[in-house]
Amino acid sequence: MNNQKEHINSAKEGHQKGFNALLENHWDYVYNYLLKLTHNNYLSEEICIQTFAKAFDKIETYDDNYEFKTWLITICKRLWIDHQRKKEVETTKIDKKTTVIKSEDANIDEQLIQKQYVSNIKAVMKSLKPTDQEV
């Protein structure tokens, strides 16, 4: 445990060795936690990378009164929630756009059918005798 405090202090001072040691010691724990949430290797790795990037960027805010793992899990949970919110917003936007596209396509189809119908009527009218063409 003293080693971990040394690594944290080293990281707080900006030393790469401290960051590397913390990453090596906690990567599997955070990754496996995320894998249980996401059920997706790629997404778990992506959020895990973001977690450590954010943790190292804000390492000076880490409070020694709490476990380092707990702090990392808090960060990764928040990133996961942000990911889910963003995903919901994108899905809603796509659904709204799809509805608009469907209605435009329907109008175009209806116009084409109407033009073909009028064209067919004109062709039939021309085949009639001139006296029968009058309505």
**Could you give the percent of the chain with pLDDT greater than 70?**
77
Using alpha carbons, select from 80, 82, 90, 96 the residue that is nearest to residue 38: 80
Alpha-carbon distance of 110 to 133, in angstroms, equals 27
At residue 64, the 3 state secondary structure works out as coil
**Greater confidence, 69 or 93?**
69
Q: What are phi and psi of 15, to 5 degrees?
A: -85, 130
Structural tokens at position 56:
């190292």
pLDDT of residue 105: 54
CATH number of this structure's domain 2-95, picked from the four choices 1.10.1740.10, 3.90.230.10, 1.50.10.10, 1.10.238.10: 1.10.1740.10
Residues 52-85: tens digit of each pLDDT: 999 999 999 999 899 999 999 999 999 999 999 8
The terminus-to-terminus CA distance of the chain in angstroms comes to 99
Residues 11-42: tens digit of each pLDDT: 999 999 999 999 999 999 999 999 999 999 99
Alpha-carbon distance of 53 to 49, in angstroms, equals 6
**Which residue ranges make up each domain of the chain?**
2-95
